[in-house]
Amino acid sequence: MSSSRSGLSRRDLLQTSMLGLGAGVLASAALAKDSVEGPIATKGRIKQSLVNWCYNKHWTDLDEFCQVAVKLGCKSIELIDPDHWPTLKKHGLTCAIAGSHGFPKGFNNRDEWDECLEVLRKRIEQCAEFGVKSVITFTGMANGISKEEGAKNCVEGLKKIVGHAEKHDVTICLEMLNTRDDSHPMKGHPGYQGDHCDYCIDILKEVGSSHLKLLFDIYHVQIMDGDVIRRIHQHKEYLGHIHTAGNPGRAELDDVQEINYPAVMKALLDVGYEGYVGQEFIPTRDPWAGLAEAVAKCDV
């Protein structure tokens, strides 16, 4: 390999140039918030969404937050209360996935079935009425329940609700969460039972419904299992929804975290994924700048 007089290889020079160009584009996008006329995301091959809980404290007025989503080129604000869905619609947005019973409770514990089923039945009906296509669910916390028993309970419990989802054409998405990061209540979830991708996929296979899929959170999968792109290809038929965040730290999708998000997005396109990708990082700096960078990186 030939080298320049400065001692840098052609590859080094090319990578440096591309990184500088990319940083310049992202900085321009971030700094131009008040003058942006068109959306940050322009290709539209990846449908992007904003996860409400991460950003609603930065934009407390929902109409303003909707305008931010539109300016970014996102099509959805998700995991937001159904009472707010009409406001989303007013701005041409949808809710990509609805919330439900929360991750501390789930189908691994038979004592929690009634509550989970009640919440999911109501939410599925609300989704069908408004045109929301997905709703989230969880395995719940282990609390002394073995992995084997928890999986068996999840299969049996989810079979009690999946027919209702099929009837209303709403997909239930079971989320896998990491149990390693105990630094913050929303960065990791010690004690959560469904903490490995294959464990959750096995539950989906046992239930055997096209209306029960995986919420593949790239951040959580990277922490617990890694091999993200291969897993996307391996489990492509079970991908119901996608979440993002930088690792480590569940912060911005910037160059100090380890996940190559453009490559991961291309893998989603390669397997024909047509669902939403929800930006779910916790901002550590200006939220607009972080979102502009994340949305641009995922717009492949």
The domain that contains 131 carries what CATH number? 3.20.20.150
Does residue 232 fall inside a structural domain?
Answer: yes
**Whether residues 17 and 67 fall in one domain:** no
What tens digit of pLDDT does each residue of 146-185 get?
999 999 999 999 999 999 999 999 999 999 999 999 998 8
- Of 109, 53, 25, whose CA–CA distance to 299 is shortest? 25
Kindly state the average pLDDT of the residues 203-231.
98
Rounded to an integer, what is the distance from CA 36 to the centroid of its chain?
Answer: 26
> How many structural domains are present in the chain?
2
- Of 116, 97, 192, whose CA–CA distance to 157 is shortest? 116
Alpha-carbon gap, residue 30 to 289, rounded angstroms: 4
Residue 15: per-residue pLDDT: 40
**Whether residues 52 and 169 fall in one domain:** yes
Residue 36: per-residue pLDDT: 65
Residue 20: per-residue pLDDT: 40
Judge whether 280 counts as a catalytic residue.
Answer: yes
What tens digit of pLDDT does each residue of 226-259 get?
999 999 999 999 999 999 999 999 999 999 999 9
Strand, coil or helix: 270: helix
Residue 31: per-residue pLDDT: 44
E strand or H helix that includes residue 166: helix 147-168
- Cα angle for residues 252, 133, 250 (degrees, 5° grid): 15
Domain that holds residue 265: 41-298
Q: Pick the catalytic residue: 78, 175, 252, 293? A: 175
**Whether residues 119 and 24 fall in one domain:** no
276-279/212-217 β-pairing: unpaired
Q: Pick the catalytic residue: 78, 112, 252, 280? A: 280
Judge whether 115 counts as a catalytic residue.
Answer: no
Residue 38: per-residue pLDDT: 76
How many other β-carbons are positioned within 10 Å of the β-carbon of residue 63? 11
**Whether residues 215 and 252 fall in one domain:** yes
Does residue 36 fall inside a structural domain?
Answer: no
- Mean pLDDT of the residues in the chain: 91
**Whether residues 159 and 22 fall in one domain:** no
- Integer angstrom CA distances of residue 201 from 11, 205, 229: 40, 6, 16
Residue 221: per-residue pLDDT: 98
